[in-house]
Amino acid sequence: MNAASLLTAFFLAALSLGAVLRLWLAYRHYRHIGAHRDQVPFAFAASVPLADHRKAADYTRAKIRLSVALLVCETLLLLAFTLGGLLDWLDRAWFGILAARGYAHGLALFASVAVIGFLVDLPFTLYRVFVIEAHFGFNKMTWRLAAADFAKQAVLAVVIGAPLLLAVLWLMSAMGERWWLYVWLFWLAFNLLVMLIYPTLIAPLFNKFSPLEEGDLKTRIEALLERCGFAASGLFVMDGSKRSAHGNAYFTGLGRAKRIVFFDTLIQKLTPPQVEAVLAHELGHFRHRHIWKRIGVFALATLGLLWLLGRVIDAPWFYQGLGVGTGSTAMALILFVQVLPVFLFPLMPVASGLSRRHEFEADAYAARHAGAGDLVAALVSLYRDNAATLTPDPLHSSFYDSHPPASLRVARLRDCAS
């Protein structure tokens, strides 16, 4: 068996095993939530009515059913792109039109893949928003607003994505054997730039941000920021209610461009002490440098993966093993992006575990600076109002959940309060 055949066999094995594992985890999660649907966990019995607990179970199970259908379609699409020959056909079709495999060919190839992926994903997105979210009372999105969002995203993809891709393809072609290092530096700089400009240039394209009004909440927040030594360029309220009834809070940006943002739905549902506790949790991420740690892990992982792509980009077996007859810079990048998640899926528990550890650290920080009881009350209210399941399957949670299960999280906070 030659190298191309080995890669094909390895890819099919990883794809099949990954799909089976995901389906099995979804099945476990679905059954586990159903088995606990009719009884509120003891820790939440006094604060979450049975009707709300059942709603959360039904909501989560509806999303699981949709995710299973999407998984099947995405797996089939990946097979069609690679071993099914769709990428190879697109490559030859654009070569026939453009008569060269240059930058225009690469852009056209990426655009074709993006459009096909968007069209396959679109029915699932619309079903989630206008059927599932609407059925459970969360959707506030109109068809007109959804169309406007899609149009804005398409414009951003062209205005930002096309020059970015062109720069990456140029670096891959012009920088010699160590192109991967230059691409990594450029990609890292681009991501930092996006983090810097997102709050003021990109986010306002989709939502309205208003300064937080004077009052008890603002006074509390400013006192919390002073206690925590956190400097922000402003406190803002986002009109999240025009799309969804879900609530949240976050801070965004870098350096002097940092902003603290509250969903209007969050302010409407929580008391000022509870909102303060939620923000204290977010500040805990900042104080423990979780964002910079994640950026560091992301940077190192990206560097290693680009180095790996540099080792196989000129190998004919890499293309042939994934169903492509003629290699090119753009095709190498597309194949790598397409198949990489298949091989990285077993690492998901590691990434999720690290994220959950960060959440516990941020909770502990919030308990010290805003009160564990207020954060518990806020979390219980958010779990209830957002219909988040209180009884996830433990194994499914270990793979997918970036936040600890509700019972463990609340138990630790109550220990801090006692």
* Terminal alpha carbon distance of the chain: 64
23 and 396 Cβ atoms separated by less than 8 Å: no
Angle at 285 between CA 281 and CA 288, to 5 degrees: 125
Task: Answer yes or no: are the C-beta atoms of 332 and 313 closer than 8 Å.
Answer: yes
Helix (H/G/I), strand (E/B), else coil: 175: coil
Beta strands in 110-193 (DSSP E): none
Our answer to whether residue 88 is catalytic in this structure is: no
Q: Is 177 a catalytic residue?
A: no
Residue 343 CA: distances (Å) to CA of 2, 11, 27, 351: 20, 8, 22, 14
Total residue count of the chain as it appears in this document:
418
Tokens 């980009």 correspond to 313
Dist. CA 112–CA 87, nearest whole Å: 9
The CA-based angle 265-63-344, given to 5 degrees, is: 105
Vertex 340: Cα angle to 309 and 2 (nearest 5): 65
- Nearest 10 degrees: Cα torsion 6, 11, 16, 18: 130
- Residue 185 token pair: 């530096």
Take residue 80 and report the two structure tokens written for it. Answer: 């069609």
Rounded to the nearest 5 percent, the helix, strand and coil shares of the chain are 75, 5, 20
Helices assigned H by DSSP within 237-325: 264-269, 272-287, 290-312, 316-320
**Choice among 91, 133, 359, 363 that is catalytic:** 363
Q: What is the DSSP letter of 128?
A: I
Q: State the number of CA atoms in the 13 A half-sphere of 110 facing the CB.
A: 24
Other residues' Cβ atoms within 10 Å of the Cβ of residue 87: 24
The residue written with tokens 């270990």 in the block is: 398
Instruction: From the candidates 88, 133, 276, 282, give the one annotated as an active-site residue.
Output: 282
d(CA 394, CA 410): 16
Integer Cα distance of 251 and 405 in angstroms? 23
Q: Which residues are registered as beta bridge partners of 236? A: 211, 261
Query: Which sequence positions are flagged as catalytic?
Result: 282, 363
